[in-house]
Amino acid sequence: MAGSSERARHWRYPELPGVDLLRARYIRKNFIRHTHENFVIAAIADGVEVFHHRGSDVSAGAGALALVNPDTPHTGRAGVPEGWRYGALYPSPDVVAAETTTLRGTPGFVSPVLDDPYAARLVHQVLRATDEGNALAADTLLRVAVTRLLRLNGGALPERRARTAGALIATRARAVLEERMARPPTLERLARDLGTSPFALLRAFRDAYGMPPHTWLTDARVRRARLLLDAGTAPAEAAVAVGFTDQPHLNRHFTRIVGVPPGAYQREHVNPGGRGRVPDERKNVQDADRPSSVPSRT
């Protein structure tokens, strides 16, 4: 990690399928615009995180939660000189949907920031329960946390807009980039092949996906690299397979999106559940709330 006082661990716990986990302290970290296939539920333990979300900067301080819906472009950086420390859960849409029967449509979060120290403690307790190998507590606390957050800040996600000509062009452009990820065409060539102009394609793509094609492609390459790393592919091989020039190129973008280098990510994800591989991490990035007992209040 950049800076001797920065620490991060990104891992999975086999008894919580469909959920990624993160505990980190960042000072100079700057997450570039990116998306997640899963929800982001990040509980701030101390400091302040600022992130750009749907056209404006928002901030979350100690006791608050940063909440991002799947496939929503956002960034992340420190809001104070000392940075921020947090724990995060990344549950899949299926995991979140299973915890509500009252919302019509696809459930999601209404506001990107929720000031709720109780829910924030629940997130930290889920992480601690996975550290302790307490599957019953981890699963229960996760469900209590998600249910509470949906009750306090839940709503149906907007339905996809009508399939306009611009939206169809953006969809076709995305399909081409996914297919030719390692050797993508130029914007001009892509627009010509789709029968439009570069400026019209750029505008349509931004409207559909919240970022220009080259930014989306970097994000997509990192997503695919994660799948390859999960399958045991060496980072250098994964880098070339998704279109990065070499492993340092992958390292730079992977760390700016996922929060940890690809090697550290793979060590935790290829053999999930093997605790203790980052020897000093739990001393330097401690939970904000140590007890892992199941609370009675939701």
In this predicted structure, the answer to whether residue 141 has a pLDDT above a threshold of 70 is yes
Q: How far is 205 from 210, CA to CA, in rounded Å?
A: 7
Tell me the per-residue pLDDT of 159-189, one tens digit each, with 9 for 90 and over.
766 578 899 999 999 999 999 999 999 999 9
- If you average pLDDT over residues 198-203, what whole number do you get? 97
Q: What is the pLDDT of residue 285?
A: 43
CA dihedral of residues 99, 103, 110, 53 (deg, nearest 10):
70
Residues 195-212: what's their mean pLDDT?
96
Q: Measure the CA–CA gap between 117 and 221, rounded to whole angstroms.
A: 36
Average pLDDT estimate for 39-59:
97
- Spell 17-45 as b/e; 16+ CB within 10 A means b: eebbbbbbbbbebebbbbbbebbbbbbbb
The pLDDT tens digits of the residues spanning 63-84 come to: 999 999 999 999 999 999 999 9
pLDDT over 60 at 3, yes or no: no
The larger pLDDT score, comparing residue 1 to residue 79, is at 79
pLDDT digits (tens, 9 = 90+) for 225-283: 999 999 999 999 999 999 999 999 999 999 999 999 999 999 999 876 544 333 333 44
Compute the average pLDDT of residues 132-150: 97
Mean pLDDT value across the chain: 90
Q: Which two tokens stand for residue 121?
A: 């403690």
Of residues 158 and 218, more confidence is placed in 218
Specify the pLDDT at position 102. Answer: 73
Buried-exposed string 220-229: b where 16+ CB fall within 10 A, e elsewhere: bbbbbbbebb
User: What percentage of residues in the chain have a pLDDT greater than 70?
Assistant: 88
pLDDT for 80-104, tens place per residue?
Answer: 999 999 999 999 999 999 887 677 7
